[in-house]
Structure 1
């Protein structure tokens, strides 16, 4: 380890911070808010930014831009990678276009989901601002309307409406900023892990929308859950309170729903099995918005409203 390298994290999840990992080329490949990042089977990293000169930057693992595409996603926010019968696709949520767009890895648009007119509470597209998608093994598409009416909407693989649930509220099956979603296949029965960001929790639902349980993460305004192996990773874009600007860290949750490490944040402490409130420690991050995990368990972190910074890397020790 070099003398000035910063190490962050707790327990067996510690990382060297590589702030200069990505190629900095704002003249050729500008970014605005760097929202989310995924890795394809061939090891390439796909970064989504709401900069319409190149909405998607494709990186190698050593941080070199290999390709770029996309000029029509002004509200580019959520990016999900789906393996469908051996072929990979991307799902982009756009909060300005009020749409979900399915593309191939080269950016060709294959399907567009408009606002859910099947739900009578939506009277116009402006009320629909989708933030994330998750794709089930049968092809069903789950969309979180995180900046709109706060519903989770389920479609089949062809984009036909199936059902919706949630909505804004403080009930156990409701949300306050239903920002992120993922399919959890770690157990015999798959389920959905869904963010209620302003409640500082992840909520678990069945694949048909039945509430199951809540993971409390006090102090952590989580963006979306990302599952790798036995663990859940999530970017905490703000900590302590929702007006705490330029804060945030990463949180890692084990298979028992316990936080085991918070790189860039305070150490997770449980008293009588209750996680104590956490907050940022140090200044590694400015509004981290997502976590991408590679096969070596290194982390790649895009950041929102961070002075147009490029993603940083956390190298697993």
Structure 2
């Protein structure tokens, strides 16, 4: 997510159908009227009004990422230095909070290592990747990959996210720096790198993504290309497999749930229109969109996806998401006026 300054103002999210509203993405529900149902087909959701809203003792700025641990606790990453990590239960109750040292907090992943889970945090301002315990103890700190010879200083390195293999190897996406993708082993040793302006690839900005291990073949990197309005499928060595065009989108992250992918779009006309609000797409195994949550229904003509748009104004810049075991979706939003995350409950 870009750190350009965006005009922020208090606002009322207008409901799509019912006239209900929520201040700051769910801050106050209007007379308990139901919020609108979002999405199409089998993937329809109703927002849970007021979920996760906390008092002034636990503030947020930009909410950039969320994960869920094995016990169902939900971790939110924000760049507010009072509490970079906020931990909720599924009902939105505060369980704990920690972190006062990540001014550019951006990417968050949770990984199982032996008998414990650990977090990986990327910080755009500190030019680093951190591995921590679930309580915030720093276990590893990675600076810029000097040995590549591609960086004059750490200032050129602004890691956006990390993607992880089951064996412990992981990739760092330098999406706001020089666009390289680095592969490390579990201990933080650099194994190889690719991307950047080399190999005929112009400035391409890998923002987030996932490693797809579902197929019978080798795992694939699936990268959200944000302003390019595409998803790129790459081999683990960086060779392009396919580029999936998503006109009218701005994909920021990807989560695989069974046979589907969930993709949050920061907006439908970003960065030209910084007031456009965004939506979430659900893709099937063939990368065909089957639902746009908060967006117009997907339409294909002669097999080609037509431009998509936000529908209504419930979201404001979805930046990541996590789908919990019960099917609920939790959505942090960036440059949204210091709002708390949104919870969407499945609607039958």
If the length of structure 1 is used for normalisation, what is the TM-score? 0.95
Match of 1:220 in 2: 249
- What SS does the aligned partner of 2:215 have? coil
What is the CA–CA distance in structure 2 between the aligned matches of 1:51 and 1:106, rounded to whole Å?
17
| CA gap 1:65/1:133 in 2 versus in 1, 3 angstroms | same
Q: Which whole-Å deviations, capped at 9, do the CAs of 1:216-244 have from their partners, x for residues lacking one? A: 11111111111111111111002134222
Aligned counterpart in structure 2 of residue 5 of structure 1, from 20, 26, 35: 35
Any gaps of 5 or more consecutive residues in structure 1? Answer: none
Is the CA contact 1:227–1:233 (under 8 Å) kept in the aligned structure 2? yes
Is the CA contact 2:318–2:334 (under 8 Å) kept in the aligned structure 1? yes
What is the CA–CA distance in structure 2 between the aligned matches of 1:65 and 1:11, rounded to whole Å?
33
Match of 1:182 in 2: 210
- Larger radius of gyration, structure 1 or 2? 2
Is the CA contact 1:235–1:250 (under 8 Å) kept in the aligned structure 2? yes
What is the CA–CA distance in structure 1 between the aligned matches of 2:248 and 2:270, rounded to whole Å?
7
1:313 corresponds to 2:343 = yes
Match of 2:12 in 1: none
Aligned counterpart in structure 2 of residue 141 of structure 1, from 164, 170, 175: 170
| CA gap 1:86/1:204 in 2 versus in 1, 3 angstroms | farther
- What SS does the aligned partner of 2:227 have? helix
Aligned length: 315
List aligned pairs for 1:237-276, cutoff 5 A: 237-246=266-275, 247-276=277-306
- What SS does the aligned partner of 1:238 have? coil
If the length of structure 2 is used for normalisation, what is the TM-score? 0.87
- What SS does the aligned partner of 1:126 have? helix
1:131 corresponds to 2:152 = no
Match of 2:132 in 1: 103
Deviating more after overlay: 45-54 vs 228-237: 228-237
1:304 corresponds to 2:334 = yes
| CA gap 1:168/1:233 in 2 versus in 1, 3 angstroms | farther
| CA gap 1:168/1:224 in 2 versus in 1, 3 angstroms | farther
Deviating more after overlay: 177-186 vs 33-42: 177-186
Is the CA contact 1:151–1:167 (under 8 Å) kept in the aligned structure 2? yes
Q: Which whole-Å deviations, capped at 9, do the CAs of 1:111-147 have from their partners, x for residues lacking one? A: 0110010221210000000010011111111000111
Measured on the aligned residues, the alpha-carbon RMSD in Å equals: 1.6
What is the CA–CA distance in structure 2 between the aligned matches of 1:86 and 1:80, rounded to whole Å?
17
Deviant stretches of 4+, over 4 Å = 168-171
- What SS does the aligned partner of 1:309 have? coil
Is the CA contact 2:246–2:307 (under 8 Å) kept in the aligned structure 1? yes
